[in-house]
């Protein structure tokens, strides 16, 4: 069955606001509460920088206007910004001051600035403490990127920016049909392992569930933790894997129904069956001490050959570069088939444009912010990003001529084998309340003897609560 990417990857958000109240979307009491979270309201910026549009300046950037950017300092690092994208922007606008900032807790650092309507111009909203993207959109804090995607590519003649992108990219950053977010890193998700460890032990990557559990038994007998993730901040890695299994069992509409808050979407049999299977993995093969660890701590154990499989996205190799021993050779395999009657093949994977970047609608230089994204989406900008991060981008053909790492090579091979059978979801970005609850429910299922019935019932309740809450704007795909 062919599936196109129509979801999104990762991660943690905040809560809503005053402009929605002014538009009649929120009840008045809620509006006061929400305005304290993300700002908004009737105040429209009147002093935004703007220049003359031309063939070389299609977005009308003021070449002398300062540009402030914030980049998340996580698994991808920040060198791609300081060494590739900022210099590219400066080459086009040498008189512009580009103020570069980095942070690890984006919400902590930036929420106050959005609340006071004094945001930076472009933000990489990522990490375990990122801002509530849906709330920011609802608050009118995020720039519509239609003009960016319609602009000509910086260095690919005869094509607009949108012509150069992997199909599904724009849709993935859209909210009710309008593009507000650039999901830049094309990430593939699966079970990561050391190719050297497998070669040494004569193990083959599992394709079926029985092969998977048999290999976990071998790992256990060898004194290793067969499967692990970090409960302190990486539960979304695990619920992603649970939902990947659910999609394989029941098809991609299982995830679309969850996104669209359809009645009974979480209690559907494929989700319940997937939760049951993964709950058994947690009970039998996981180390309960990992509940209190951070992701890098568990990832380090894998680099030390104490952990066999680790669920993650393709940023993992770069994130662990300084701790990965020579010859470790990261590799990745799809989540195994669950049953012989799965609706999607074993090669099907969760793969999607991720790592959100957006322009602040109330910033001083939104045109400069969009232009900065245009430089990111140039072929050279994308190639430089991949060279420094070992992660693909949404720019087609940007890896041509590159010598790529073992993990990225494995990722590309897995993506090629998947063909059009890749999928994603978007509810985690749209509804922070559901994301928070799913992390907690997942940890309970995997570490604390939780059961599938409790997991799906708990998630159905929070989904129903979100659906009934008039203060939360609903999104559909």
- 155: buried, middle or exposed (CB in 10 Å: 19+, 13-18, 0-12)? middle
Q: How far apart are CA 4 and CA 86, in angstroms?
A: 33
Q: How far apart are CA 125 and CA 355, in angstroms?
A: 7
DSSP character string of 106-140: HHHHHHHHHHTT---SEEEE-STT---HHHHHHTT
Q: How far apart are CA 371 and CA 147, in angstroms?
A: 10
CATH for 18-187+352-403? 3.40.190.10
CATH for 189-351+429-468? 3.40.190.10
Q: Which of 9, 352, 355 is nearest to 166 (CA)?
A: 352
So what's the pLDDT on residue 220?
97
Q: How far apart are CA 201 and CA 214, in angstroms?
A: 14
What's the predicted TM-score (pTM) here?
0.80
The CA-atom distances, in angstroms, between 47 and each of 27, 44, 123, 364 are 31, 9, 20, 7
- For residue 131, the Cα-to-chain-centroid distance in whole angstroms is 13
Helix 269-285 crosses helix 235-250 at what angle (to 10 degrees)? 130
Would you kindly state where each structural domain of the chain is located, as residue ranges?
18-187+352-403, 189-351+429-468
| Secondary element (H or E) of residue 192 | strand 182-194
Q: How far apart are CA 289 and CA 308, in angstroms?
A: 16
Q: How far apart are CA 70 and CA 327, in angstroms?
A: 35
pLDDT tens for the chain, 477 residues: list them: 333 333 333 333 222 222 222 222 222 223 332 334 456 555 566 689 999 999 999 999 999 999 999 999 998 999 999 999 999 999 999 999 999 999 999 999 999 999 999 999 999 999 888 999 999 999 999 999 999 999 999 999 999 999 999 888 999 899 999 999 999 999 899 999 999 999 999 999 999 999 999 999 999 999 999 999 999 999 999 999 999 999 999 999 999 999 999 999 999 999 999 999 999 999 999 999 999 999 999 999 999 999 999 999 999 998 999 999 999 999 999 999 999 999 999 999 999 888 999 999 999 999 999 999 999 999 999 999 999 998 899 999 888 888 789 999 999 999 999 999 999 999 998 998 999 999 999 999 999 988 999 999 999 999 999 999 999 999 999
So what's the pLDDT on residue 352?
87
Q: How far apart are CA 247 and CA 338, in angstroms?
A: 10
- 3-state secondary structure at position 267: coil
CATH topology of 18-187+352-403 equal to that of 189-351+429-468? Answer: yes
Q: Which pair of tokens denotes residue 270?
A: 């494929």
So what's the pLDDT on residue 95?
98
Q: Which pair of tokens denotes residue 349?
A: 């994977």
């Amino acid at each position: 069955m062919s599936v196109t990417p129509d979801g999104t990857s990762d991660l943690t958000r905040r809560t809503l606001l005053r402009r929605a109240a002014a538009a009649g979307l929120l009840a008045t009491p809620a509006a006061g509460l929400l305005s304290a979270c993300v700002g908004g309201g009737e105040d429209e910026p009147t002093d935004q920088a703007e220049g003359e549009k031309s063939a070389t300046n299609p977005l009308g950037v003021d070449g002398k206007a300062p540009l402030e950017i914030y980049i998340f300092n996580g698994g991808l690092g920040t060198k791609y910004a300081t060494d590739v994208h900022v210099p590219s922007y400066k080459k086009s606008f040498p008189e512009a001051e580009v103020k570069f900032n980095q942070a690890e807790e984006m919400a902590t650092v930036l929420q106050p600035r959005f609340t006071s309507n004094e945001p930076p111009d472009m933000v990489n909203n990522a990490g375990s403490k990122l801002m509530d993207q849906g709330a920011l959109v609802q608050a009118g804090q995020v720039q519509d990127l239609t003009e960016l995607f319609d602009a000509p590519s910086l260095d690919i003649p005869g094509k607009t920016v949108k012509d150069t992108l992997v199909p599904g990219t724009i849709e993935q950053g859209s909210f009710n049909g309008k593009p507000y977010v650039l999901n830049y890193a094309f990430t593939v998700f699966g079970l990561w392992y050391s190719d050297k460890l497998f070669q040494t032990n004569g193990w083959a990557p599992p394709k079926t569930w029985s092969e998977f559990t048999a290999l976990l038994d071998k790992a256990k007998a060898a004194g290793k933790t067969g499967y692990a993730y970090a409960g302190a901040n990486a539960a979304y890695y695990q619920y992603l894997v649970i939902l990947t299994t659910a999609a394989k069992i029941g098809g991609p509409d299982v995830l679309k129904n969850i996104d669209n808050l359809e009645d009974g979407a979480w209690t559907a049999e494929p989700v319940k069956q997937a939760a049951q299977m993964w709950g058994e993995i947690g009970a039998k093969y996981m180390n309960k001490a990992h509940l209190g660890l951070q992701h890098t701590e568990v990832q380090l154990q894998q680099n030390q050959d104490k952990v066999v499989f680790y669920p993650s996205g393709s940023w993992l190799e770069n994130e662990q570069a300084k701790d990965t021993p020579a010859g470790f050779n990261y590799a990745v395999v799809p989540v195994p088939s669950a049953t012989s009657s799965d609706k999607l093949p074993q090669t099907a994977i969760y793969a999607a444009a991720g790592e959100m970047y957006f322009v602040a609608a109330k910033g001083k230089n939104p045109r400069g912010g969009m232009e900065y994204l245009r430089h990111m989406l140039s072929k050279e900008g994308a190639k430089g990003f991949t060279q420094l991060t070992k992660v693909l981008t949404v720019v087609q053909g940007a890896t041509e001529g590159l010598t790529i790492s073992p993990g990225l090579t494995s990722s590309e091979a897995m993506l090629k084998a998947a063909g059009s059978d890749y999928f994603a979801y978007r509810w985690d970005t749209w509804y922070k309340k559901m994301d928070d609850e799913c992390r907690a429910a997942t940890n309970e299922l995997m570490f604390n003897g939780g059961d599938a019935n409790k997991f799906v019932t708990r998630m159905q309740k929070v989904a129903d609560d979100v659906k009934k809450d008039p203060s939360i704007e609903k999104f559909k795909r």
